[in-house]
Amino acid sequence: MLSHEDNTLITRVSPGTPMGETMRRYWIPALLSWELPEADCPPVRVRLLGEDLVAFKDTEGRIGLLDEFCPHRRVSLFFGRNEECGLRCVYHGWKFDVAGECVEMMNEPAELNFKHKIRATAYPTVEMGGIIWAYMGPPALRPPPPQFHWVQMPATHRHVSKVLQESNWLQGLEGGIDTSHAPILHRLISETSTQPGFKPSNPFVRGQAPNLVVDLTDYGYQYAGVRSLGETEVHIRTYHFVMPFHQLRPSRTETGKPSVAGHIWVPIDDVTTMIYNWEYSLGEALNEEDRLERRLGNGPLDVDQVTFRSRKNRANNYLLDRNVQKTETFTGIEGINVQDRALQETMGAIVDRSREHLGPADKAIIQARRLLLQAVHTVQEGGTPRGVNPTYYGLRASEGVLPRDADWRELLTPEMAEIDILQTVQPALYAGAKVPDAGTCGNKATR
């Protein structure tokens, strides 16, 4: 359990809150790359950590992320004109570049020339892995770009999507790092069921309740669920938790390809979360079936691609089918991630953790809370929190069935990281991953 005070401390993310200021020390997914498909396309509203923003791609392909409201009369720049290397407010014609600099004022005499005194709040961005990431913290403390192993994969082998969850971000994260629930909530009752989930023959389901092993790292932790399989074998499933909101896990694609997958639980505000879902194949390229995400319930068939709201939601009880629950699946809800969202949203907007009763199976959740509280205190004291430095760049995840007496760390840890990438990480290598320069328009780059 957590005290009311600590629960508030790590769940509230609005500007000025301790957790909000801590979150702003990391790169944060802001939107999917395809939402800004071309230069001078329509701007897109973005809400992050309780701030209303607007994103646009200018004439030269640079991405700006500005305060949604014009600094002149606070009109929404979502209705602005994206033209000639800037976003122009349609109320009085003030125009802003990707750095937030005011470059034109249509309603003011040119001789007054005070546009250089005006700027909109602007955040640096970088585009990686099909996501546009934002940094919202102190400019001098901007970390290296989020060069996860998965963002380095070719687009042919990588897929990313997102879906809205109507609850606090921490409820989603805690579900994602809770390995003990997965073979229960997501199990199939029948071996012949065509529903998404884990069949009774899967060692993940056949194994006994897990013993959790959590190894702290400078990015968060690596952990494993160790499940007995009879007298001679164990099933091991390993994960990573990368501060403050990343999960990496072993998986398989829709068509059965071995893969690594994960989620990022991005706080929109205190009571709403955008979940980014990513996956990459360890072998063959992904096909169209893989990208539909039918097994997870995150794809275009299940999620409105404008609002990113699931078509299975609280208003329709997530299309719960009681007959399916009796004969095929443990929940009667279709879609593995839909099942997660359904249960996490039933906790309420922000769950009261002071009323919980935790056990050994919650070890990973308990440790994550400790790390988050520690990160808040570290930032308050002027330090650098875990997960800011680029030691997570090569991380992967793994699972397997091993002899009971085998050293699973020795056997599986090499598969948990791409060693070649880790050995070549140097600050200079990624120094170029910055917001593009001014280009021919003469505008300044985002700072």
Full 3-state SS string of the chain: CCCHHHHHHHHCCCCCCHHHHHHCCCEEEEEEHHHCCCCCCCCEEEEECCEEEEEEECCCCCEEEEECECCCCCCEHHHCEECCCCEECCCCCEEECCCCEEEEECCCCHHHCCHHHCECCECCEEEECCEEEEECCCHHHCCCCCCCCHHHCCHHHEEEEEEEECCCHHHHHHHHCCCCCHHHHCEECCCCCCCCCECCCCHHHHCCCCEEEEEECCCEEEEEEEEEECCCEEEEEEEEEECCCEEEEEEECCCCCEEEEEEEEEEEECCEEEEEEEEEECCCCCCHHHHHCCCCCCCCCCECCCCCCECCCHHHHHHCCHHHHHHCECCCCCCHHHHHHHHHHCCCCCCCHHHCCCCHHHHHHHHHHHHHHHHHHHHHCCCCCCCCCHHHCCECCCEEEEECCCCHHHHHHHHHECHHHHHHCCHHHHCCCCCCCCHHHCCCCCC
Among the listed residues 248, 252, 238, the one whose alpha carbon sits nearest the alpha carbon of residue 283: 252
Mean pLDDT over residues 239-255, rounded?
96
Range of the domain at 54: 27-142+435-441
Verdict on whether the full-model pTM lies above 0.95 = no
The side-by-side arrangement of strands in the sheet containing 94-96 is 81-82, 87-88, 94-96, 102-105
Confidence of residue 415 (pLDDT cuts 50, 70, 90): confident
Residue 6, in any domain of the structure: no
| pLDDT at residue 45 tops 50 | yes
Confidence of residue 391 (pLDDT cuts 50, 70, 90): very high
pLDDT of amino acid 410: 84
197 and 77 share one domain: no
| pLDDT at residue 425 tops 90 | no
pLDDT of amino acid 439: 54
184 and 38 share one domain: no
Confidence of residue 1 (pLDDT cuts 50, 70, 90): confident
Confidence of residue 408 (pLDDT cuts 50, 70, 90): confident
Average pLDDT, the chain: 92
CB-CB contact of 202 with 215 (8 Å):
no
| pLDDT at residue 86 tops 60 | yes
Mean pLDDT over residues 258-267, rounded?
97
210 and 137 share one domain: no
Q: How far is CA 91 from CA 78, 80, 94, 99, 105, in A?
A: 12, 8, 8, 21, 11
Q: What proportion of the chain, given as a percentage, has pLDDT over 70?
A: 93
182 and 276 share one domain: yes
| pLDDT at residue 115 tops 50 | yes
244 and 282 share one domain: yes
| pLDDT at residue 438 tops 90 | no
Residue 80, in any domain of the structure: yes
| pLDDT at residue 436 tops 60 | no
308 and 274 share one domain: yes
Q: Which of 26-40, 74-88, 279-293, 413-427 has the lowest mean pLDDT?
A: 413-427
Confidence of residue 413 (pLDDT cuts 50, 70, 90): confident
- CATH code for the domain in which residue 125 is found: 2.102.10.10
- Please give the tally of structural domains in the chain: 2
Residue 12, in any domain of the structure: no
Residue 392, in any domain of the structure: yes
269 and 364 share one domain: yes
pLDDT of amino acid 414: 73
Mean pLDDT over residues 253-271, rounded?
96
Confidence of residue 117 (pLDDT cuts 50, 70, 90): very high
Question: What is the residue whose two structure tokens read 């829709």?
Answer: 254
Residue 247, in any domain of the structure: yes
Mean pLDDT over residues 217-246, rounded?
95
pLDDT of amino acid 95: 98
- CATH code for the domain in which residue 320 is found: 3.90.380.10
| pLDDT at residue 418 tops 60 | no
242 and 304 share one domain: yes
pLDDT of amino acid 301: 93
80 and 191 share one domain: no
Residue 38, in any domain of the structure: yes
pLDDT of amino acid 421: 32
237 and 330 share one domain: yes
pLDDT of amino acid 268: 98
104 and 133 share one domain: yes
| pLDDT at residue 279 tops 70 | yes
Residue 234, in any domain of the structure: yes
Among the listed residues 263, 328, 269, the one whose alpha carbon sits nearest the alpha carbon of residue 298: 263
| pLDDT at residue 325 tops 70 | yes
298 and 382 share one domain: yes
Residue 201, in any domain of the structure: yes
